[in-house]
Amino acid sequence: MVNTDTRSDRPARRGTPIPGTSSARGVPNLATRSQEHINDNPLMPPIVDGKAVFDLDSGKYLKLWQGPQHPGITGNMSLELVVCGDEIVECKTHVGYLHRGFEKLMERRSYIQCFPIVCRIAVPEPDFNEYLFAATVEEIQGIEVPERAQWIRTLNLEMARLASFFMWMGGMAGAFGLGTQGQWTVTMRDYILDRFEELTGGRIYHMYMIPGGVRGDFPEGFTDRLRETIDTCEKTLQDVERTLFNNAVFKKRAKGLGVIHPDIVDQFGIVGPNARAAGFARDVRKDHPYLVYDQLDFEVVTHTDSDAYARAWVRLQEMYQSMDLIRQILDRMPAEGPFFTKLPNVLHWNVKPGHIYKKAECTRGEYGYYLNSDGSDKPRRIYVRGPSYTHAVSLMEHLSIGCNIADTAGLMVSLHTYPPEVER
Amino acid sequence: MSDQHTQTQISSAEVHEVFADLHTRYGVRGLEEKRADQAFVRTDRDEAVAVLTHLRDRHGYTHLAFLTAVDQIEEGRFELLYMLHNYELRHDLGVIVEIPREGDGCSMDTIHRMWPAAATYQRELREMFGIDFPGSPRLHEDFALEGWHDLPPMRKEFDTREYSERTYYARPGRTKTDTRQHMKDTIYPSEAETW
Amino acid sequence: MATADTQTRRYQEPGAPGNAAVVNPDPRTVTGPAGGTGQGDVQTVDGQLRILTEELKLANADLRSEDRGNFCDHPPEVIKPFRAFWENFLNWARSESLWILGFGTGCGAIELRPLMTSRFDMYQYGIQGRPTPRQSSVFVIGGYASVKTMKRIVRSYEQMQGPKFVLGLGSCTINGGMYWDSYNTVNRLDHYIPVDVYIAGCMPRPEALLAGFVKLKEMIKRGECEGANRYAENFEWYKANQKRIIKNWDMPDYNW
């Protein structure tokens, strides 16, 4: 927050504003506000209510909007930056461009009508919404899901994780100007989406994990084709690892960028790979095993550097881990069995009163659904806890201070934020 | 299966110990144990921040998973839910605080000094429910909406469909059939008797 | 191309008795609140929505008076076509280099990524993404438009230089789709900006997008994509619709 830019010829003007100029443009007139809080160093911006205030009229600072119409932003959101030279001194995130009011819409839909809209909450990775919605309803209603359905769900979630990470990997490379890896990884993601299409009928939105199980069993020859796809993906991922993680540009720009200090991990509610790259071995799959994760072998990947490079490295390892998990699932899952338990007539389905919170580890961390039912056929309240909620808003505002404008895109992508789950 | 397999390290006795401590100090009540790794308690509005601070500093509930509100319009109150998590014990604890829906009472103390990320939740609650959090930073800035003049949309009395029909132009030709009737008459007429 | 009757400007004099400021471009399709009479909720000044002044200049009524001089007050104009051969040639040229504005307004943006990579490869059709509206000719509205995004869509669309075309992606741009009863998403995109081609589905596949682009090309070659001219002709109607939902209109009435 402290600006020590002494290169500027003009010291920050302070205390002698031209009457009327600042306030007329909506900028607080600092001279008349809280005189006692203005600090004494003429090179520092004045501090009001514990926050530095930048006088845009001084000519030293510039307000710059990054987004929503900007290629270097993750999805449809925007950053309101105040820059001094090319260094960011203040950042405000603006979200809500994708707000559709899901939580309100779900309050006026029956449970089965909620099911097709929940997956739209997080676009690149909709399956966690489906699973968590189904799981909260099942838990509150006491529905037992057949074993094979649990394995299929786990497989589905791991495939979604892999697809989402592939998309992210391309974005990470693209944010630092490396286009080739993006071409490869988006194509790999397409191959996984092909398998999704076989399994569920949809490329992006699958609507597959319905309360009570899954909508269908494997098509013929699916496992073999999935293994083949995973082999292809692994080969390409090794290429990506060689070309991206040893790339001088990527190393130079990502190392030391956006360091999350371990002390702020709990303050800001940082979860997932962002926390794991800071040395915290926290993974909902391990800590609160859901589905069949307690029967699978994997270790939580951690790193200690906690910068953009470390986060990318953690995600790369988790991609390998995810491929390994998919192979384990295909090996160990029961070959036969029901995939769906019979539900009561969903059109007359009243869910028992009560409330419950379920969470799962998505690519960004702890993804959770809180369901509050009052015993009617519609939920009273569903709250969706997306990890991007803190990563994209308060953490981004915190980390971007002192960052270079050109690195903002890289920083933002390295936090792996999806705006739709922020505003829902 | 599996969902009950949780290898939690916290036992029910430990949860009760935490609860007893909170009960003696702050009069916390209404322990609901949902799962071995999840429980909910209720507290008064005046004690809530003290309870949260105590849980964070003494009992290791350092992670604020989320903060949200549930509109209990029939009883004229909001239920604020602070979902805390303890990474050591791997335990979720939801702290429920009831506040009145209307008037000056519809406000709550801010916790952004304990968790800076909470300011975002409080901004959203102010916008979506109209709950005031005095002192929370950027509270009255738009969050998800922009230039919103109507009732806070997440309140139960706000009718989103009526608002949509009044504000946006519906494309003619969209028909609505009653799902139950349609399934009964058209899709599964043979099974209709069994419903 | 523009026909004889569309070349005449259909601005109605503000304040003339019985003249609604809202011009209905197509009375056959628009009913209900969109009709010429349904301006009850439109913010009006003296009973008239002030888009144009009496000299047919932009009123820019929502800007602060000291800011008004900074912005242009000239409303958009209908561009007349060139003579037959030249217009056909230009239409061919326009259709073969469609540059998309890189603004992912909704979830449809996720299927634009595969289009840019080798598998679906939109570059072979002369389509590529551009970062700024000034260089773009196609605006792909990627699904539902929330009110907050709508403001940016209007602004980006107006900043695009002609010839410009709009592709509505997904069912939610047609009639609201899944979010038909949401308080924050518009139901019909074509009431706010002119749309040339809709691609139905949620989510439409990349092949559907390519089919949409091919359709757009055919329409451009036939001279049917006159969205920008429609926008200029019915400028007041579009503006009235836009201002009806965008409550904090702190920008000029037309963004050059």
Question: For residue C35, what pLDDT is reported?
Answer: 36
**With an 8 Å Cβ cutoff, are B117 and A385 in contact?**
no
Find chains touching chain A: ≥3 CB pairs under 8 Å. Answer: B, C
- DSSP, residue by residue, C62-97: TS-HHHHTTS--PPP-PPPP--HHHHHHHHHHHHH-
Find chains touching chain B: ≥3 CB pairs under 8 Å. Answer: A, C
pLDDT at A8 over 50: no
Contact criterion met (CB below 8 Å) for A86 and A381: no
Domain tally, chain A: 2
pLDDT at A235 over 90: yes
How far does C192 lie from chain B, in Å, by closest CA? Answer: 10
- Choose, out of A66, A80, A94, A99, the residue to mutate when testing the contact with C (most C CBs < 10 Å): A99
A246, A315: one domain: yes
Question: pLDDT confidence of A72, banded at 50, 70, 90?
Answer: low
Q: Show which of residues 151-170 on chain B sit within 8 Å of chain C, judged by CB atoms.
A: 153, 158, 160-161, 163-170
**With an 8 Å Cβ cutoff, are A381 and B3 in contact?**
no
ipTM topping 0.95: no
A249, A325: one domain: yes
**With an 8 Å Cβ cutoff, are A268 and B117 in contact?**
yes
Sheet of B38-43, strand order? B29-35, B38-43, B91-100, B77-86, B63-72
A-chain CB neighbours of C205 within 8 Å are 203
**With an 8 Å Cβ cutoff, are B145 and C184 in contact?**
yes
B-chain CB neighbours of A350 within 8 Å are none
**With an 8 Å Cβ cutoff, are B172 and C186 in contact?**
no
Domain ranges of chain B: 8-170
Q: Which of A2-11, B8-17, B155-164, C166-175 has the lowest mean pLDDT?
A: A2-11
pTM assigned to the model: 0.83
Domain-located, residue A402: yes
Distance CA C231, CA C255 (A): 13
Question: For residue A315, what pLDDT is reported?
Answer: 92
Amino acid of residue C201 = G
Q: Assign C130 to helix, strand or coil.
A: strand
A108, A239: one domain: yes
Question: For residue A161, what pLDDT is reported?
Answer: 92
**With an 8 Å Cβ cutoff, are A186 and C113 in contact?**
yes
Residue from the list B38, B71, B161 with its beta carbon closest to the beta carbon of A108? B161
Instruction: Report the CATH architecture of C84-225.
Output: 3-Layer(aba) Sandwich (3.40)
Q: Which of A57-66, B9-18, B19-28 has the lowest mean pLDDT?
A: B9-18
**With an 8 Å Cβ cutoff, are B147 and C30 in contact?**
no
A-chain CB neighbours of C131 within 8 Å are 70-71
Domain-located, residue A4: no
How far does A179 lie from chain B, in Å, by closest CA? Answer: 32
Question: For residue A357, what pLDDT is reported?
Answer: 92
Amino acid of residue C214 = V
A128, A80: one domain: no
B-chain CB neighbours of A290 within 8 Å are 2-3
Q: Is B94 part of the contact surface with chain A (CB cutoff 8 Å)?
A: yes
Q: Higher pLDDT residue, A4 or B31? A: B31
Residue from the list B153, B170, B172 with its beta carbon closest to the beta carbon of C183? B153
Nearest to C108 by CA among C169, C187, C186: C169
Distance CA A305, CA A309 (A): 8
A270, A351: one domain: yes
Q: Is A123 part of the contact surface with chain C (CB cutoff 8 Å)?
A: yes
Q: What domain range includes position A300?
A: 102-423
Domain-located, residue A118: yes
Contact criterion met (CB below 8 Å) for B99 and B108: yes
A342, A234: one domain: yes
Residue A294's CB: how many other CB atoms inside 10 A? 15
Question: For residue B10, what pLDDT is reported?
Answer: 67
A111, A45: one domain: no
- Choose, out of C101, C146, C171, the residue to mutate when testing the contact with A (most A CBs < 10 Å): C146
Contact criterion met (CB below 8 Å) for A223 and A330: yes
| The two three-digit tokens of residue B153, written as one number | 């949309």
Question: For residue A40, what pLDDT is reported?
Answer: 63
A88, A234: one domain: no
In terms of residues, how long is chain A? 424
Q: Residues A385-413: pLDDT tens digits?
A: 988 888 888 888 888 888 888 888 888 88
**With an 8 Å Cβ cutoff, are B154 and A288 in contact?**
no
Sheet of A365-373, strand order? A354-362, A365-373, A381-385
Domain ranges of chain C: 84-225
At which of A74, A94, A114 does a domain end? A94
What are the average pLDDT values for consecutive 10-residue runs of chain C, which has 256 residues? Answer: 36 34 38 36 50 75 78 83 86 89 81 85 86 89 87 89 88 86 88 90 88 91 86 86 84 79
Residue from the list C31, C32, C183 with its beta carbon closest to the beta carbon of B164? C183
Amino acid of residue A117 = I
At which of A94, A126, A158 does a domain end? A94
Domain-located, residue A237: yes
Nearest residue of C to residue B150, measured between CA atoms: C183
Q: What is the CA radius of gyration of chain B?
A: 22
Q: Residues A330-346: pLDDT tens digits?
A: 998 888 888 888 877 77
Question: For residue B192, what pLDDT is reported?
Answer: 56
Question: For residue A263, what pLDDT is reported?
Answer: 87
Residue B39's CB: how many other CB atoms inside 10 A? 21
- Which CATH code fits B8-170? 3.30.460.80
**With an 8 Å Cβ cutoff, are A68 and C103 in contact?**
yes
Q: Is B36 part of the contact surface with chain A (CB cutoff 8 Å)?
A: no
- For the ranges A6-15, A70-79, C88-97, the maximum mean pLDDT occurs at C88-97
Nearest residue of C to residue B144, measured between CA atoms: C148
- Choose, out of C182, C183, C192, C198, the residue to mutate when testing the contact with B (most B CBs < 10 Å): C183
User: How far from each other are the two terminal CA atoms of chain A, in whole angstroms?
Assistant: 30
Q: What is the mean pLDDT of the segment spanning A222-240?
A: 92
A364, A347: one domain: yes
**With an 8 Å Cβ cutoff, are C181 and B164 in contact?**
yes
Domain-located, residue A29: yes
Residue from the list B6, B143, B160 with its beta carbon closest to the beta carbon of A104? B160
H helix or E strand, kind and range, residue C148: helix C147-159
Question: For residue B97, what pLDDT is reported?
Answer: 92
Contact criterion met (CB below 8 Å) for B194 and B183: no
- Determine what percent of chain A is predicted with pLDDT higher than 90: 24
Residue from the list B147, B149, B169 with its beta carbon closest to the beta carbon of C188? B169
Q: Assign C26 to helix, strand or coil.
A: coil
Nearest residue of B to residue A384, measured between CA atoms: B66
Instruction: State the sign of the Cα–Cα–Cα–Cα dihedral C36, C42, C46, C52.
Output: negative
Contact criterion met (CB below 8 Å) for A154 and A292: yes
Q: Residues A138-186: pLDDT tens digits?
A: 888 888 889 889 999 999 999 999 999 998 998 888 888 888 888 899 9
Distance CA C23, CA C133 (A): 27
Distance CA A340, CA B131 (A): 42
Helix axes A111-118, A127-141, angle to 10 degrees: 160
A243, A171: one domain: yes
A vs B, Cβ pairs < 8 A, gives 116
Q: What are phi and psi of A103, to 5 degrees?
A: -65, -35
Q: Which residue has 């097709």 as its token pair?
A: A116
Distance CA A387, CA A73 (A): 17
**Dihedral angle of Cα A230, A231, A235, A241, to the nearest 10 degrees:** 40
Distance CA A255, CA A310 (A): 8
Instruction: Tell me how far CA of residue B35 lies from CA of A42, A380, B3, B41, B91, in angstroms.
Output: 58, 21, 10, 13, 10
A-chain CB neighbours of B68 within 8 Å are 370, 381, 383
Q: Residues A283-304: pLDDT tens digits?
A: 888 888 888 898 899 889 999 8
Q: What is the 3-state secondary structure (H, E, C) of chain B?
A: CHHHCCCCCCCHHHHHHHHHHHHHHHCCEEEEEEECCEEEEEECHHHHHHHHHHHHHHCCCCEEEEEEEEEEHHHCEEEEEEEEEECCCCEEEEEEEEEECCCCCCECCCCCCCCCCHHHHHHHHHHHHCCECCCCCCCCCCCCCCCCCCCCCCCCCCCHHHHHHHHCCCCCCCCCCCHHHHHHHHHCHHHHHHC
Which residues, listed in sequence order, are joined to residue B41 by a DSSP beta bridge?
Answer: B95
Q: What is the mean pLDDT of the segment spanning A413-422?
A: 87
A78, A142: one domain: no
How far does B144 lie from chain A, in Å, by closest CA? Answer: 4
Q: Is B31 part of the contact surface with chain A (CB cutoff 8 Å)?
A: no
Contacts of C101 (CB under 8 A, 6+ apart): A69, C129, C130, C132, C133, C136, C138, C139, C140, C156, C160
Contacts of C221 (CB under 8 A, 6+ apart): C88, C91, C92, C95
Question: For residue C49, what pLDDT is reported?
Answer: 64
Domain-located, residue A3: no
Question: For residue C48, what pLDDT is reported?
Answer: 52
Which residues from C are below 8 Å from B when comparing CB atoms?
A: 29-34, 41, 147-148, 151, 174-176, 180-188, 191, 241, 244-248
Contact criterion met (CB below 8 Å) for A68 and C154: no
How far does B46 lie from chain A, in Å, by closest CA? Answer: 23
Q: Are strands B91-100 and B38-43 parallel, antiparallel or unpaired?
A: parallel
Nearest residue of C to residue B167, measured between CA atoms: C245
Instruction: State the sign of the Cα–Cα–Cα–Cα dihedral A267, A268, A272, A278.
Output: negative
Which residues from C are below 8 Å from A when comparing CB atoms?
A: 66, 101-107, 109-111, 113-114, 116-119, 129, 131, 133, 144, 146, 148-149, 152, 156, 178-179, 181-185, 202-203, 205
**With an 8 Å Cβ cutoff, are B167 and C181 in contact?**
no
Contacts of C193 (CB under 8 A, 6+ apart): C139, C153, C154, C157, C166, C227, C231, C238
- Whichever domain contains A194, its CATH number is 1.10.645.10
Q: Is A378 part of the contact surface with chain C (CB cutoff 8 Å)?
A: no
Residue from the list A101, A139, A355 with its beta carbon closest to the beta carbon of B153? A101
**With an 8 Å Cβ cutoff, are A100 and C146 in contact?**
yes
Nearest to A413 by CA among A144, A133, A174: A174
- Choose, out of C184, C189, C251, the residue to mutate when testing the contact with B (most B CBs < 10 Å): C184
**With an 8 Å Cβ cutoff, are C117 and A69 in contact?**
no
**With an 8 Å Cβ cutoff, are C179 and A205 in contact?**
no
Nearest residue of A to residue C139, measured between CA atoms: A69
Q: Higher pLDDT residue, B179 or B79? A: B79
